[in-house]
Amino acid sequence: MQILYFAWVREKIGRAGEEISLPPGVSDVAGLIRHLGTLSPGHAAAFANPSAIRAAINQDFASPDDAVADGDEVAFFPPVTGG
């Protein structure tokens, strides 16, 4: 699956995205955040406070309990601040 990072999530992780395989036992956004937080110190810093993170699945806003599947494009970012 394609993972994308934006704003300070991208800065803390040090890259704009990565391709990963959905690990066994991970089925929703919250589980994916827990998994990604183990990948590197930068990931751990970015995902230290999951309540500060927003997500999108296939370019639609998603909730922590929304299901994720291999093949999805899942993005993580801070609350939006446009306009």
Partner 1 sequence: MARIAVQDAEFDTAAETALLTQGRTDIGAVASFIGICRADDGLGAMVLEHYPGMTERALAKITAEAESRWPLTGCTVIHRVGRLPPGAPIVLVLTASAHRQAALDACAFLMDWLKTKAPFWKREEFTQGQARWVEARSEDDAAAQKW
Cα–Cα distances in Å, from 46 out to 3, 7, 14, 21, 55?
14, 11, 10, 20, 13
Shortest distance in whole angstroms from residue 23 CB to partner 1: 24
Residue from 2, 7, 38, 48 in contact with partner 1 (CB under 8 A): 7
Q: Which stretch binds partner 1 (CB under 8 A): 5-13, 23-31, 34-42, 43-51?
A: 5-13
How remote is the C-alpha of 15 from its chain's centroid?
A: 12
- In this structure, the strands spanning 2-5 and 54-57 are unpaired
Interface mask (CB under 8 A) for partner 1, residues 17-46, using x and -? ------------------------------
Closer CB to partner 1, residue 10 or residue 35?
10
What is the SS3 assignment for 83? coil
Q: Measured between alpha carbons, how far is 46 from 66 in angstroms, rounded to an integer?
A: 20
Binding site for partner 1 (CB under 8 A): 4, 6-8, 56, 59-61, 75, 77-83
